[in-house]
Structure 1
Amino acid sequence: VAAENVVATIPVGSDISVQGTTCGASLAVGDSCQITFTAPAPEGPTDIAIAGSNTNTVLVAVTVNPLQFTVTPSVGANGSISPATAQVVNAGSSLTFEATPNTGFAVNQWRLDGDLVQTGGTSYQLNNIQANHAVQVTFGQTTLSPLTQNLALSVNAPGADPALIGNARIIRIENTGVMPASNVQVGTSGFPAGTSITSNACTGTLNVGDACDITVTPGGSASPDVAANACTTAPGTEPVPTTVSVTADNAPSTNINVLILGYGCIYQGGFLFAVDDSTPNTTSIGGKVAALSDQSTGVRWGPLEMVGGISETSTAAPDACNGSGDGQCNTSRTIAAGLVPPVAAQLCEDSSDGGFTDWYLPAICEAGRFVGLGTDAGCGVTNPNLYTTLHVNSLGGFANDSYWSSTEFSANPQLSVWSQNFSGGTQLAIDKTLAVRGRCARAFTP
């Protein structure tokens, strides 16, 4: 007679369970079937009853040694993993690991036996385990790198002389880290009136290698000094920059110092008197500054000798300068001439004011322009200069006195040099050996 419904009955208290059976509903005479047992841990021998609905009961001593594997976790720097110790699990089971990054860091990669299996995420689940494994989690940090740490803009001052356009400029941020920056945000310490961020793409997620732009558009007010006065306040003061902060949940913040500058502001070692707002918009303005004080209250220009190539009519060529407007070139030629000292230009050549060593004696059209008095040096009416841009507006701290230029007088270059009078604006050619004031200037680029 066939045995019907053969099953195994597990005794109370045992953790053994039936994993599978081939016995079915009917087992013919002479046939056999197989019952497979499993357990979460080794157990046995345990007596298990085997019987059919029409058979006697047989007690079988069962010992179960389940197939087990070891999963070993490891963790990189700047975080932790849980569980943190090796886990012994049965074949076919699952295991979940949780990673906790340190402040300012995030999960970078999950690796299984050295192979990348997951990017990011604070948990990783290993399913249907059929072998020994090694699970590793690493942590990373994004690096928000600004193209420039300092950004200087011109005020928008159409009424200034010369007018200042105040072009918008861009703070560019690149993710140079090893993982995406999350929850990127931008904040500021406060701009002067009229200046604002008019476009901001640095929000949300910034992927590795990507960049985002923050556009700053200047207004008509210059950055304030420590006393909260605009740096264009007479005689000109040193501005305090606005701090633009870019942050992310998994990166240290990066700060960019932003200055809004007008004529007279102290910048790059001196009083700003000329602005080049045509530089690339991801960089600062260029321009020129006057030294913060006179290099001399009375020094001769030099001996009665002609340098040549530095008069108001000379033009830039291999052996000459744009004598009316390029004081840097004029100064270089004067120094190279080896004149017997004292020489006014040498004071600028030797100056290291503000930590800068590229000071020069201004050309006549950098010193001033024709205002209807004296002799017209041909400077026109739009050139930025020390007299009309600074002194007329009570900026720069100049004396009401005459100052040397580096430009020889073309009608008598051996004896005479152009001077700029700061009392009434007169431009005159005077004797090189007179004792006259000297104020240096320098040009700067981004």
Structure 2
Amino acid sequence: MMLPGKTLTALIWSVFLINVQSLALFPQNANAVTINGITITLAITATANTESRNLTVGAVMSGFSPLTASSGTLPYTYSIKTGTLPAGLTLNSSTGEVTGTPSSAQSAADVVFEVKDANNVLAAATSTVSFTVNSDITATANTDPRNLTVGAVMSSFSPLTAIGGTQPYTYSVKTGKLPSGLTLNGSKGEVAGTPSSAQSAADVVFEVKDANNVLAAATSTVSFTVNSDITTTANTDPRNLTVGAAMTGFTPLTAIGGTQPYTYRVKTGTLPAGLTLNGSTGEVTGTPSSAQSAANVVFEVTDFNNVIEAATSTVSFTVNDALTATANTAPRILTVGVAMTGFSPLTASSGTQPYTYRVKTGTLPAGLTLNGSTGDVTGTPTSAYSAANVVFEVRDANNAIAAATSTVSLTVSEVLTATANTAAQNLTIGATMSGFTPLTASGGLLPYTYRVKTGTLPAGLTLNGSTGEVTGTPTSAYSAANVVFEVKGADEIIAATTSSVSFTVIPAIAIGDSYQGGIVFYINETGNQQGNIPASTPATKHGLIAAPADINVSYTDAWSYSSNTLYRWSTGQSLVSNTTDYAWQSIGTGTGIGSGQGNTTAILAKWSVSAYPYTAAAMCDNYSNGGYADWFLPSKDELYQLYIQKSTVGGFASDGYWSSSNTSTITAWYLFFPTATQGGFSKEQKKRVRPVRAF
């Protein structure tokens, strides 16, 4: 049909059921044809873009066209058929483009778009698009610093955790640089890897954006430190411990490098009961509670990143039984200047050696020392020390102190001294002696012990070793001999002073006894000293002894007088020219018993033996018999006693005998034995002589 000057749309023509295309009136790709002045346009069509839109509040949406119209009569008009665009978005009705920035969130909702051409012909096709507007993207930051170790796999972590916005998220490093060996997963936001080189602390800033390129406001600043590999120094000293003694804490391994904190642990073996390992410091401490023989425990250490140091520490642990001690509490009594016999107040056993001995309370006497290693007390006391207790204790190498102590009483006495009594002891068989003490000890260490050093006591006498007294009754004769006594203290120290005592034991003396070179003719029973003759006592007799016979020596004196039995008392004036050397002087005036020896000495002092060898006094002085040479001329009274016992003594002539007693300057006493007459006689005359001696 021809309608000049009119343009018709194919739609209008369609009512006429004319299928112009089928009539091949439209050239290929032509939207309209003009036939006989009438333009015929193809019906409007549209291509739909129904891709869902995931948007983010505040994020400019990438503009898109839900429908793309073709054919029909331009211009097109795009519109929303159903639904409502999210707030902030607009549809350009001319271009069909949807643009804008969503301003509020909304859940998924469909919007149906349509398009019509200028002739209000609607395209048959519509476009249904689902719009979702997500809230604004936010992120939670994990800013914990990372202390890492070279070669140790890092525990992965997410510096940012995104929420909101439109997924998928994209994580990235905003500033800084990850340590070598670490990577950031852009999709997950996870940092992982194994650091390959050390670095000092450095910040890395992370950010995240959503699918709409909206960046979360929050970033995450993380400090990364990569430490060098962990190394250790091992302390493998064996541990000798004691039950009940707190161990001195020690560290089997000392870690350096790596990432702190370190974790220490037992790799193999078991610590002795009572000991613990501090996993943080690596120190082993505690108090062993039971004994065990030597056993190894292997220690290891890891750093914060679970890097295990290859080097370990193998330590041998031995736990000894508790320290015990045996006490020696014997008191010690010492002497100044005398080295003591060393002793050990305590003997330790068990525990851990070496032991250390020491004084717990008290003070050792000056000069003594305690050996701390052996426990031996030795030395030489230097000053006196009153009895006082010293308490000793012992501890072992682990400072375990033995429960047992030793309390020892120590006394230091002055040096032992002694006073000697050296009086000669003249005893008689059968007569109990008066006890006497040869030595009196003082100082030193009690008790004392007295003993004979040299010599032998006469039979029947004993020495009391405790008191030092000599007592007893002699049972046999004993020629004069010295016995030396000494005394020692309880510390075996002997006093420097000894006592040398002469002992003589004679038979029971009686007149007429042959004794000491002669015959006893007088015993002093008066109880008093008689001149040089002591009074007799029950234990000792004293008296006079006569020679067995008269002097019988042949001689010729200076005046040509010869004899063998008669002797002058001294010279006379008629025989000498020197007026000072004659007998008319009063010499030898003693007459009593005990004076004869003194008289004889006085006479010989005037007329010496060498000058006048044949006088009565000189002949007595020269006399010797039975080993005795202390003979003298008897006094007047001594001569009379001799006369009384003349029959007992025997050997007397019927003649006169000189005494040593002077009667005048020119005469001396003599006794005429036949008649017992005593009188003075000229000193230059000759008489018989019988020597005597005292005992």
- Give the TM-score of the pair, scaled to structure 2: 0.32
- Give the TM-score of the pair, scaled to structure 1: 0.46
